[in-house]
Amino acid sequence: MPASNARAMAKARNLDCDAVCLDLEDAVAPEAKAEARAALVAEVQAGGFGHRRLVARINGLSTPWGHDDIAALAQAPVEAVLAPKVDDAADIQALSAAMDAAGFAPDVALWVMIETPRAVLALERIADCAATTRLAGFVLGLNDLAKDSGIAQLPGRGAFLPVLTMAVLAARANGLVILDGVCNAIEDTVRLEGECVQARDSGFDGKTLIHPAQLEVCNRVFAPTQADLAEAEAIVAAFADPANSGKGALRVNGKMAELLHLTQAERLLAKAAAIAAR
């Protein structure tokens, strides 16, 4: 949400979301940047966001505002800084170094928008920076990518599928969180649900949203279903059964289950437990 929108930031404290991203970049007009920056810092310092993780999207370092954004956020209680329009590994190194120099606590992560054609072509080099910098997350920005590439944002997102898949693989190879881009069609819940299903099935951890009306669909799609949970529980129970001790492959409800499926089942159950705890 725009950090220039006081009402939205107030509402964020009660929204059913896992993270709140306060934006200083494209959702804030140039003439409102300084005021929004001050408002963002005041909001996060006021607290009250509960379990919601706080992320601040800054302006790029090459803009008139980026360095001031970093300086203002250094002492603010955000868990991640989200940087827009990175192109390659050098941008990640510069952002991480700027955060170090500004005095950010070591556990404040750097997330970056993947939203330029160059970033897509450099996904592997960018993701590899996780080993040596604060980089911990990717967020797709298909609006900017559409603008700079000419790829149309059509229902089904067919032309973007290679980007979605390659971004997920680059993230997974380096232990990064990865969130899908926004769905601009606020009232089109069918399109939103389609994008959420596509993102979930492509391996994304979640989806970024622009309006409270989008929360229910997204939370529902990304949560494990009862059938998913029953299958995971059956796999865990089968491997825990002493009769199966020492076996690497089992038949569970008509399907093969190996130890890798046990790992997946345990991950799914942990996700369900985290949702329930929230």
Ligand X SMILES: CC(C)(COP(=O)(O)OP(=O)(O)OC[C@H]1O[C@@H](n2cnc3c(N)ncnc32)[C@H](O)[C@@H]1OP(=O)(O)O)[C@@H](O)C(=O)NCCC(=O)NCCSC(=O)C[C@H](O)C(=O)O
Q: Does 265 bind ligand X (CB under 6 A)?
A: no
Indicate the DSSP class of residue 98.
Answer: H
Q: Which of 43, 69, 91, 115 binds ligand X (CB under 6 A)?
A: 115
Phi/psi class of residue 128: alpha, beta or left (left: φ > 0; alpha: ψ in -120 to 50)? alpha
Q: Is residue 33 classed exposed, middle or buried when 0-12, 13-18 and 19+ CB atoms within 10 A define those classes?
A: buried
Q: Is the dihedral of CA 140, 198, 154, 152 positive or negative?
A: positive
What's the CA gap between 91 and 73, in Å, rounded? 19
**Total number of residues that touch ligand X (CB under 6 A):** 21
* Min separation Cβ 69 and ligand X, Å: 15
Q: Does 2 bind ligand X (CB under 6 A)?
A: yes
Q: Does 206 bind Mg ion (CB under 5 A)?
A: no
Taking the least distance from each CB to ligand X, the nearer of 15 and 234 is: 15
Taking CB within 5 to 8 Å according to partner kind, which of Mg ion, ligand X, none is near residue 117?
A: none
Taking the least distance from each CB to ligand X, the nearer of 27 and 120 is: 27
Q: Does 115 bind Mg ion (CB under 5 A)?
A: yes
Q: Is residue 243 classed exposed, middle or buried when 0-12, 13-18 and 19+ CB atoms within 10 A define those classes?
A: exposed
Q: Does 205 bind Mg ion (CB under 5 A)?
A: no
Do residues 240 and 222 touch, judged by C-beta distance below 8 A?
Answer: no
Q: Which residues bind ligand X (CB under 6 A)?
A: 1-2, 5, 7-8, 11-12, 23, 26-27, 113, 115, 141-144, 181-182, 210-212
